[in-house]
């Protein structure tokens, strides 16, 4: 899931750069917002994985 | 003194810290996720950078520079010049008796120099076969995704003056 979001973010960055270089400045804001949202989702997923990992290790050590 | 000699050919530190190579190279789920999230942060920062550049973008002021004499080049002929700086090479084509068009000579794909193909009536990039329209610099074919920047020309008396670059 994170990898898919990352691929979309890479595409978004290249599209935003392409637009900027061709003089279309209005696309930068929406691209930045979408990219930020995707980063937050990635961060949330990381927190989830981190928590699950900790729980698994915790129960592993305890058992 | 034979009892002091080690039997193994491995270095001493490997014997004392016996971690398996596979374990050394093992990337945990957490490490991989952290790496992906950091890359995601990098993409976000890149987008923010573009946004900041867009907000503080100032339209450049172009000099007015005579680039050719009227009638200097024949119909279908080409003249190369530099505008707005010496490093920015441009191409001018006389498409009709009283019609001139001019574009940046740098291909928008990988900056190869484009040339005018009179037979096909288009601008062609020899590197990756990117073709551009002579009318407005739009991409006709090939890998370039942006049109060629157009040099705005103005006739002043007997001179053609470049006044602006339009991306």
* Cβ neighbours of A5 in B, within 8 Å: 40
Contact (Cβ atoms closer than 8 angstroms) between residue B50 and residue A28:
yes
Query: Is B36 close to A49, i.e. CB distance below 8 A?
Result: no
A41 found inside a domain: yes
Instruction: Say whether B146 and A22 touch across the interface (CB within 8 A).
Output: yes
- For residue B52, count other CB atoms closer than 10 A to its CB: 12
Helix (H, G, I), strand (E, B) or coil at B89: strand
Residue B123, pLDDT score:
94
Residue A17: inside a domain? no
Q: With respect to residue A12, please indicate whether it lies within any of the assigned structural domains.
A: no
Domain assignment of residue A4, yes or no = no
Q: What would the mean pLDDT of B95-117 be, rounded to a whole number?
A: 92
pLDDT at B103: 95
- Selecting from A10, A18, A23 the residue whose C-beta is nearest the C-beta of B43 gives A10
Instruction: Give percent of chain B with pLDDT exceeding 90.
Output: 53
Q: Which of A5, A9, A20 sits opposite B54 (nearest CB)?
A: A20
In a domain, A50, yes or no: yes
The pLDDT of residue B40 is 93
Q: Write down the pTM of the prediction.
A: 0.65
Interval A11-63: pLDDT, tens: 999 999 988 887 778 888 999 999 999 999 999 998 988 888 778 776 655 44
Confidence of residue B8 (pLDDT cuts 50, 70, 90): low
Please check whether residue A49 lies inside any domain of the structure: yes
pLDDT in tens, B71-80: 888 998 999 9
Express each pLDDT in B110-130 by its tens digit. 999 999 998 989 999 999 999
- So what's the pLDDT on residue B115? 93
Give the strand pairing for B99-104 and B89-96: antiparallel
Is the pLDDT confidence value at B24 over 60?
yes
CA distance B26 to B136: 56
Between CA B126 and CA B114 the distance in angstroms is: 7
DSSP B91-126: EEEEEETTEEEEEESB-TTT-PBPEEETTTTEEEET
What is the model's pLDDT at position B92? 94
In whole numbers, what is the pLDDT of chain B averaged over residues?
87
**Domain assignment present for A6:** no
Computed from CA positions of residues B14, B15, B16, B18, in that sequence, does the dihedral angle turn out positive or negative? positive
What is the token pair recorded at A13?
A: 């960055």
Beta strands, E only, B26-158: 65-69, 78-82, 89-96, 99-104, 115-117, 122-125, 130-133, 139-141, 150-156
| A1: in domain | no
Query: What integer is the mean pLDDT of B18-34?
Result: 73
Q: Work out how many domains chain A is built from and give that number.
A: 1
How high is the pLDDT of residue A63? 40
Interface test with B, best of A39, A47, A50, A51 (most B CBs within 10 A): A39
Containing structural domain, residue A29: 25-63
Q: Measure the CA–CA gap between A4 and B22, rounded to whole angstroms.
A: 28
Q: Partners of B106 in the beta sheet?
A: B113
The CATH code for residues B65-166 is 2.102.10.10
């Amino acid at each position: 899931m994170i990898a898919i979001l990352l691929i979309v973010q890479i595409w978004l960055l290249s599209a935003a750069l392409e637009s900027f270089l061709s003089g279309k400045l209005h696309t930068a804001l929406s691209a930045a917002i979408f990219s930020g949202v995707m980063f937050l989702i990635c961060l949330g997923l990381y927190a989830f994985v981190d928590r699950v990992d900790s729980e698994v290790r915790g129960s592993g050590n305890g058992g | 003194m034979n009892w002091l000699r080690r039997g193994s050919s491995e270095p001493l530190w490997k014997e004392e810290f016996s971690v398996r190579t596979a374990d050394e190279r093992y990337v945990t789920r957490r490490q991989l996720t952290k790496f992906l999230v950091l890359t995601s942060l990098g993409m976000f920062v890149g987008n923010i950078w573009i946004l900041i550049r867009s907000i503080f973008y100032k339209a450049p002021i172009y000099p007015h520079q005579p680039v050719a004499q009227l009638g200097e080049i024949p119909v279908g002929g080409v003249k190369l010049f530099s505008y707005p700086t010496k490093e920015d090479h441009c191409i001018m084509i006389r498409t009709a008796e009283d019609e001139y068009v001019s574009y940046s000579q740098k291909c928008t794909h990988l900056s190869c120099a484009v040339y005018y193909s009179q037979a096909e009536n288009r601008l062609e990039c020899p590197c990756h076969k990117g073709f551009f329209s002579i009318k407005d610099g739009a991409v006709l074919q090939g890998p370039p995704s942006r049109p060629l920047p157009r040099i705005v020309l103005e006739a002043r008396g007997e001179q053609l003056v470049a006044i602006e670059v339009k991306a």
